[in-house]
Amino acid sequence: MAEFIEPVEHLADMFRRLEGVGKKSALRMAFSVLDLSEESAKEFSDAILDVKTKVRLCSCCQNITVDELCPVCSSPKRDRSQICVVEDPRALAAIERAGVFQGLYHVLHGEISPMHGVGPDKLKIKELLERLKDGEVAEVIVATNPTVEGEATAMYISKLITPLGVKVTRIANGVPVGGDLEYADEVTLRRAIEGRRNI
């Protein structure tokens, strides 16, 4: 016998399909929905359908958008000679939030991970190469995560693009600003020292 009545169990199962949601959180959220007003529940239900129907990928950079082109690609103010390659729209948003980059982006929608059966063909790499054809792009900055998969993805992309005569760079590794050296791991410290600059 299920522990809870079917509609609650079923909704909890739906929550569990989302990234990072465990059994207990899923149940807590399902019960929370019970406490919503009818209107809020309807709004919630519609919002789920809306993201699937209204959101699509920018035909240029593959970022999520509601229009044909995302706000970055359609902005006349951006530097079209630089493309920053990120794994997902959240990484893009983090860089935009920092306001430190004025070029365009390219969203891969994943990282190469043989462990999880994700090969290069599952990523938006073909679309990236297509953007380099007209020669307008001078530099591709690979901003995938500093993890095994992110590094592998960066290496793969670098090997494809370098022969095209486009400069490929990688974001720096080092000690996070405001962080404490005492808590930095060995690899980060090694990278921080290797990447030292004159002051």
Interface residue list for a second copy (CB under 8 A): 3-8, 10-11, 13-15, 17-21, 25, 27-36, 38, 40-52, 54-55, 64-66, 88-90, 93, 96-97
CB of 80 to a second copy, least distance (A): 21
Nearer to a second copy, 118 or 192 (CB): 118
Supply the angle between the helices 6-16 and 23-35 in degrees, to the nearest 10. Answer: 120
Name the residue nearer to a second copy (CB basis): 11 or 157.
11
Minimum distance from CB of 134 to a second copy (Å)? 27
CB of 149 to a second copy, least distance (A): 17
Amino acid of residue 158? S
Query: Which is closer to a second copy, CB of 32 or CB of 81?
Result: 32
Toward a second copy, which CB reaches closer, 59 or 81?
59
144 backbone dihedrals φ, ψ, rounded to 5°? -70, 165
**Residues ≥6 apart with Cβ < 8 Å to 151:** 144
Nearest to 138 by CA among 109, 107, 108, 169: 169
Least spacing, CB of residue 38 vs a second copy, in Å:
6
Shortest distance in whole angstroms from residue 71 CB to a second copy? 8
Structural tokens at position 105? 């982006």
Residues in Cβ contact with 128 at an 8 Å cutoff, skipping those fewer than 6 apart? 83, 85, 106, 108, 140, 157, 161
Nearer to a second copy, 39 or 134 (CB): 39
Reduce the DSSP state of residue 183 to 3 states and report it. Answer: helix
